[in-house]
Structure 1
Amino acid sequence: MKLLHFYLILLFPFLPFVSLSQDHRAEIHCKHWLGGYPYGTPATNDLIIRDIYALSNNDDTKFADWVAYRLDPELISGSNKSRKWKADPWLDPSETLEPEPHHGDYKNAYDSIHTDRGHQAPLGSLDGSPFWYEANYLSNITPQKSDLNQGAWVTLEEKVRSMVNKYKVVYVMTGPLYEREMPPLPFADEPHKVPSGYWKIILVEMENGHIEPLAFIFDQDTPRGSALQNHLYTIDDVELRSHLDFLWELSDYKEKAIEANKNEDWFEINIK
């Protein structure tokens, strides 16, 4: 039995993790989300909660269905940028990709399909933590096209860090989309599924308790110079395409208002 599953069973012995109505969803308290964890992942997923992020790892795709992380100015102020890739020590080798030997499952990925090891929770936003190295575990990595990873994706990560300095605490949730079949990693020896795109949700709770949302969707083939405005969506859009439920711990009225809000004015102030 997996270690985390064992702990969850101890905490919630009578609560199946996924197949319950919203009224009976498992209460998992964690600093990394605001309004509830993304709900709707397969029951076989591994829920991993670390100091710098939480994620739900999918045994079939070998990648996280979502990663959530809470950012503050101290966390983003470090200088640890080393990328020493490691398999997640909390996962069975059959549940995740591996970095060794000779670059492991990502070998020749850039040369063959122009793909990077793309952080979901970015190292550059977590390097102030003594646990920064856990950002390089492959459970927090997906095969991400270089033009996206080095273009709009990293630009948005930089904008989020600016928001952290401005608002002090920012919550982020991010994950993959599987809307069409993508070429696999050429040398991976485990069955896996490369994402066709990605989503990212950014939440800031203001002093009056009001929550400001921003939501983005990116295709894997996003051109390097694509403007972030082209990728601005609503949380409702992300729910429709990811099949996940967000902010479900909030009142229905508040949840619906936030998830339908494209928040273009706030985008203009903070992102553009």
Structure 2
Amino acid sequence: MNKKTTYVVLMFICTVGFWLFNNFYTPDTYTDKNVSVTDVEVEDLYYLQPLSTTGDIVRHNYYTLSYNEKYEQAEWVAYSLKREDLTKDKRKRPYFIEDPKVETKSADWRNYKRSGYDRGHLCPAGDRKFSVYAHNETFYTSNITPQKNDFNAGIWGDLEKMVRIWAKKDKEVYVVTGGVLKGDMDVIGDEDVAVPNYFYKIIAKGKKDNLKVIAFLLPHKESRKPLTSFLVSVDKIEKETGINFFEALPNEIEDKLEKGINRSGWVF
């Protein structure tokens, strides 16, 4: 075999190998294989889980998400946050990896490289320090979205801290959060990961017959305004996202919770 033929064969093998790797490689997992979703307590407020517009719901041990392949990120991430979850354990920051439970493959972390955007967590790593597995699960790329640093470390971070304060005060809250995936959005990386122009967060607390809900819609930019400036109704977020958030509740309760802004019971 001459050098030219050898080169062609090697190139063919490399091309086939890359194609197989790209299409069939399943990344490692950060999820505890010895624990099932039903073994953990994140299902306490399961009836508050939103509907999925894509049908691609992924349940991890410590949060649930609906993945939107078109925009290469979750349209929502939902999780329960309890007082006892908020520990001060120090956790080593792992690598971001693709989510092995997303059938279409979640976006590669390299899309964010040199993009100018943070890899913004939707379920914050800071809310999941109580175990190595819970913390590391937040580093699946299905749980991140492109965020400007002054937004991520600014007003968005302030809202995350506020949610922790409420969880400590009220023992447990249920959080649904994500970017508004519509309109004219910038994209980053080879996979065209969308950069949302707005982000939302809905927080619920209390029992099924006495729920309290508060919702926020924030423009994706730095802001020094108070968090109360971004209060909206759940109906407003449903209109913007096309997502039905409390479909499992009786209609009269759902309508009451979604139609207005009620700050009662939420201390800022």
- Give the secondary-structure state (helix, strand or coil) at the position aligned to 1:193: strand
Quote the offset at 1:224 in angstroms. Answer: 3.7
Give the aligned residue type for 2:78: A
Please tell me the residue identity of whatever aligns with 1:39.
L
Q: Can you give the 5+ residue segments of structure 2 that lack an aligned partner in the other structure? A: 1-23, 27-41
CA contact (8 A) 1:68 1:171 kept: yes
1:54 aligns with 2:64: yes
Question: What are the superposed Cα offsets for residues 83-136 of structure 1, whole Å, 9 maximum, x if unpaired?
Answer: 3222212235x532223xxxx2111122xxxx2111001111111134210101
Give the aligned partner of residue 99 of structure 2: 88
SS in 1 for 2:77: strand
Contact 2:91 2:132 in 1 (8 A): no
Whether 1:63 aligns to 2:65 is: no
Greater helix share, structure number: 2
The higher radius of gyration belongs to: 2
**CA–CA separation in structure 2 for the residues paired with 1:142 and 1:81:** 21
* Residue 124 (1) aligns with residue 118 (2): no
- Does structure 2 conserve the Cα–Cα contact (< 8 Å) formed by 1:106 and 1:117? yes
Distance 2:200 2:45 in 1: 16
| CA-CA distance at 1:182 after TM superposition | 2.7
Aligned-partner residue type, residue 211 of structure 2: I
Q: What is the identity, as a one-letter code, of the residue corresponding to 2:158?
A: T
Judging changes above 3 Å, is the alpha-carbon distance between structure 1 residues 36 and 163 closer, same or farther for their aligned structure 2 residues?
Answer: closer
Pick the aligned partner of 2:49 from 17, 24, 37.
37
Equivalent residue letter for 2:256: A
> Are 1:264 and 2:263 counterparts?
yes
Deviation digits for residues 178-197 of structure 1 (CA, Å, limit 9, x no counterpart): 34323222xx2223322121
Q: Structure 1: which 5+ residue stretches go unaligned?
A: 4-29
1:122-181 deviations in Å (ceiling 9; x for gaps): 111111134210101110000011121111111111111111111111100011113432
Q: Is the 8 A contact 1:34 1:247 kept in 2?
A: no
In the alignment, does 2:146 pair up with 1:143?
yes
C-alpha distance in 1 between matches for 2:203 and 2:74: 18
**1:36 and 1:266, CA in 2 relative to 1: closer, same or farther beyond 3 A?**
closer
1:167 is aligned with what amino acid?
D
Cα deviation digits, residues 215-272 of structure 1 (max 9, x gap): 0001112x242321111001111111110111111111111111123113434xx2x2
2:159 is matched with which residue? 156
Q: In structure 2, what is the equivalent of residue 248 of structure 1? A: 247
Q: Please, what TM-score do these two structures have when normalized by structure 1?
A: 0.77
Distance 2:250 2:145 in 1: 33
**Structure 2 CA distance for partners of 1:211 and 1:138, relative to 1, 3 Å:** same
Q: How many residues align?
A: 228
* C-alpha RMSD of matched pairs (Å): 2.3
Percent identity of paired positions between Structure 1 and Structure 2: 30
- 8 Å CA contact 1:77–1:127 kept in 2: the answer is yes
Residues 71 and 125 in structure 1, CA contact (< 8 A), matched pair in contact too: yes
TM (normalized to structure 2)?
0.78
Relative distance call for 1:235 and 1:32 in structure 2 (3 A) is farther
